[in-house]
Chain A
Amino acid sequence: MSALMLDLPALLQVAADPQQQPNFWPWFIATAVKLLVFFTLYMVVVAYSTLAERKISAWIQGRHGPNRVGPRGYFQPLADGVKNFMKEETLPPHVNKALFLLAPALAFMPAMVTWAVIPFGASWASPWGRIDMVLADLPVGFLFTLAISSLGVYGIVLAGWGSNNKYALLGGLRSSAQMVSYEIAMGMSLIPVLLLAGNVTLRTIVNQQAEMHMWNVLTLSIAFVTFLISAFAETNRLPFDLPEAESELVAGYHTEYSAMKFSLFMIAEYANMVTQSAMIATLFFGGWDIPFMTADNTGAVSGLLVLLSVLIMVAKIFFFVFFYMWIRWTLPRFRYDQLMSLGWKFLLPIALAYIVVVASLTLGLDAMGIKRGFVFGGIFLAVNAVILFTLFSLFDRGRVVSPAYGRLSEDEVARLRAVTAARANLSTQAGD
């Protein structure tokens, strides 16, 4: 049992080489500290992102937003928390009790668990050895995030089914169809990232972007666009919030929930948003890598650089959280058939074709002996610019991207005019 005793002298022993993994106890304490700090900060960020959403929506709509609780409304999340705890918890008599209680927890957990593998800073060359700024450096980290995010749907589906309510059930059905459709597009849009990195650990993906001196958003723009759209659909945020669609389904899957259980769904939504923002930052925007600087990419580095890299990551995450809110208060909701056709008829074929393009380009450049570096990235950038321009000009012509309010092409307008003219003729004849 002596191995379990806290051996203080060994604990304080200074490692010979700060680039090596530390001993068991320093590693254990570092992990515990990381978990605690991380969990606390994450929950605070999630709570305050609800305030941020209300402030940003107010700003976009020319209102003031919450400004009564504390200075300029900064204590609003605390007041919301107290309110949710004090409210009455209702348990409708017709619900499936086990699933009804399980669903909110299942909705929240995946967002939290995904964070375990996302690297949020450069490794720290501490006196006790190299401490990685990631909770668990899995060899299959990237696939782990996909697997866990695919489980997020269970919370919503079970809430919908367990509530035994027609609106909730419709919300749950929509959610499962939507998640399965967009998960495929999401997975396919991420294969180019793996092709370029050549590995499935998130650390390799961050390092590869630093090595190319170019973020993946530039070298793999199409993958970024398809991933961004699928990520919005996966988090059920507007314009993809059909599972709750308040104008059609009351509140969708959480119609029957009240007080803290309802609040848990809200927390899950915001937690998912923060997690997806971190994924976007890691996969396409260089992760924690400090731009225009190579000192942070040389193994374990000093504490100051680690702090700077963490701050860079946090800034990127905040930007994408803001981006999510910006989109929500800008675009209206999709119609259900539009949602499905966007996922299956556009995103999936585009992502599949893009895999072929990236694979053949990588193979060609490797065969020509071009090293992964600035030239390699430059060629990718040029190819992407051409494809992106072609795609967007193609889609912007008519009503392909957004059937609801897209600009119509000229033949389309002519055809519509012909139809209305024929109708006008009919009605005048009928009037005679």
Chain B
Amino acid sequence: MPNFFYQLHFYLFGLIAIASALAFVTRKSPVAAALWLVNTMFSLAALYVMMEAHFIGVIQVLVYAGAIMVVFLFVVMLLNLGHPDELSDLRGTWGRLAAGLIGLALLAQVMALSRSPAPTSLVQSDFARAESMQGLNAVGAVAKPLFSDNLLAFELTSVLLLVAIVGAIVLGKRRASA
């Protein structure tokens, strides 16, 4: 019985995610597109929760739907872009063709990746996972490896983000003064 419910919810949220993602790329109004993206984020969060990754699921909602998309909406509303028809990035036959080819290449990549076995260092046995969830809690199970085994990568990422923020401010300031 639980298996049936699991399957049902998996397909439900999977379908919602895919449908919203399609709507997101096809809507021409920026606000509508942003809202469909929020919907996609939500379904992804639901899928994470179904995989017992409660923390990742909640962070997905908190960071993407709650913070980043609100900022997006804010910018979209503030700029109040003109007619949706003039905004399309896809212009001309060559543009469409290039976009299609890149899409096909990405799809092939996903197919190839999903067929090859995952690296053993990333796979955790069910027993080890249950034990780490027991000993640490929902947050600790993510935090422990992040701040011990992968500390260097984590710190490098934070430096990269800091550089990006500083860069954004510098560029923004320069345009204002010019």
Contact across chains for B54 and A139 when beta carbons are under 8 A apart: yes
How distant is the Cα of A153 from the Cα of B58 in the complex, in angstroms? 17
Interface of B toward A, CB cutoff 8 Å: 1, 31, 35, 38, 54-55, 57-59, 61-62, 65-67, 70-71, 73-74, 77-78, 137-139
A-B CB proximity, top 5 nearest: A150-B66, A147-B62, A147-B61, A139-B138, A176-B74
Q: Is the CB of B62 within 8 A of A176?
A: no
* Count of interface residues, chain A, beta-carbon cutoff 8 Å: 30
Tell yes or no: A205 within 8 A of B by CB.
no
Contact (A150, B67) CB under 8 Å given A143-B55, A143-B58, A161-B31: yes
Which B residue's beta carbon lies closest to that of A194? B139
In the complex the two chains form, is B58's CB within 8 Å of A147's CB? yes
A157 within 8 A of B: yes
Whole-angstrom CA separation of A176 from B70 in the bound complex? 7
A150 pairs with B138, CB closer than 8 A: no
The answer to whether A173 and B139 have CB atoms under 8 Å apart is no
The answer to the question of A99 belonging to the interface, with a C-beta cut-off of 8 Å to chain B, is yes
A41 to chain B, nearest CB (A): 27
Taking beta carbons and an 8 Å cutoff, which residues of A are in contact with B? 3-4, 99, 138-140, 143-144, 146-148, 150-151, 153-154, 157-158, 160-161, 169, 172-173, 176-177, 179-180, 183, 199-201
Q: Are B77 and A140 in contact (CB under 8 A)?
A: no
What's the nearest-Cβ distance from chain B to residue A322, in Å? Answer: 29
- Chain B contact residues: over half helix, strand or loop, or mixed? helix
**Contact between chains at A161 and B70 (CB < 8 Å):** no
Given contacts A161-B31, A180-B74, A200-B139, whether A140 and B67 have CB atoms under 8 Å apart is no
Contacts of B55 in A (CB 8 A): 140, 143
A376–B112 Cα gap in the complex (Å)?
56
Docked-complex contact A169 and B77, CB < 8 angstroms: yes
Closest to A138 in B: B54
Do B137 and A199 touch (CB < 8 A)?
A: yes
Whether the pair A140, B54 counts as a contact (CB closer than 8 A) is yes
Contact check, A151 vs B31: say whether CB atoms are below 8 A apart.
no
Q: Are A200 and B138 in contact (CB under 8 A)?
A: yes
B65 to chain A, nearest CB (A): 6
A143 engages B59 (CB within 8 Å): yes
Q: How close is B135's CB to chain A, nearest CB, in angstroms?
A: 12
Within the complex, the shortest CB–CB distance from A270 to chain B, in Å, comes to 22
A150→B62 contact, CB < 8 A: yes
Give Cα distance in the complex from A280 to B125, angstroms. Answer: 40
Measured CA separation A204–B74 after assembly (Å): 36
What residues on B are CB-neighbors of A139 within 8 Å? 54, 137-138
Chain B residues in 8 Å Cβ range of A99: 31, 35
B64 CB to nearest chain A CB (Å): 10
* B78, A180: Cβ atoms closer than 8 Å: no
Distance of A146 Cα from B54 Cα, bound (Å):
14
**Complex formed: what's the CA distance from A169 to B57 in Å?**
31
Contacts of B65 in A (CB 8 A): 147, 150-151
Give complex CA distance A157, B38 in Å: 14
Which B residues are in CB contact (< 8 Å) with A140? Answer: 54-55, 57-58, 138-139
Known: A143-B59, A200-B139. A173 touches B77 (CB 8 A): yes
Given A176-B70, A200-B138, decide whether A3 and B1 contact each other with a Cβ distance below 8 A.
yes
Residues of A within 8 A of B66 (CB): 146-147, 150-151, 153, 183
Given contacts A140-B138, A150-B62, A199-B137, whether A157 and B54 have CB atoms under 8 Å apart is no
| 6 intermolecular pairs with C-beta atoms under 8 Å apart | A4-B1, A143-B59, A154-B38, A161-B31, A176-B77, A180-B71
Q: How far is the CB of A113 from chain B (nearest CB, A)?
A: 11
Q: Are B70 and A179 in contact, CB atoms less than 8 angstroms apart?
A: yes
Q: Which residues of B contact A3 (CB under 8 A)?
A: 1
Given contacts A150-B62, A173-B77, could you give 15 more A-B pairs where the C-beta distance is less than 8 Å?
Answer: A3-B1, A99-B31, A138-B54, A140-B138, A143-B55, A147-B66, A150-B65, A150-B67, A150-B70, A151-B66, A157-B73, A157-B77, A180-B70, A199-B139, A200-B137
Q: Which B residues are CB-close (under 8 A) to A144?
A: 58
Query: Distance in Å from the Cβ of B140 to the closest Cβ of chain A?
Result: 8
User: Which chain A residues border B74 with CB–CB below 8 Å?
Assistant: 157, 173, 176-177, 180
Residue on A nearest B68 in the bound complex, by CB: A180
In the complex, the chain B residue whose C-beta lies closest to that of A176 is B74
CB pair A153 B139 closer than 8 Å: no
- Closest-CB distance, A218 to chain B (whole angstroms): 25
Considering the chains assembled together, what is the distance between the CA atoms of A146 and B55 in angstroms?
Answer: 12
A139 to B138, CA, bound (A): 6
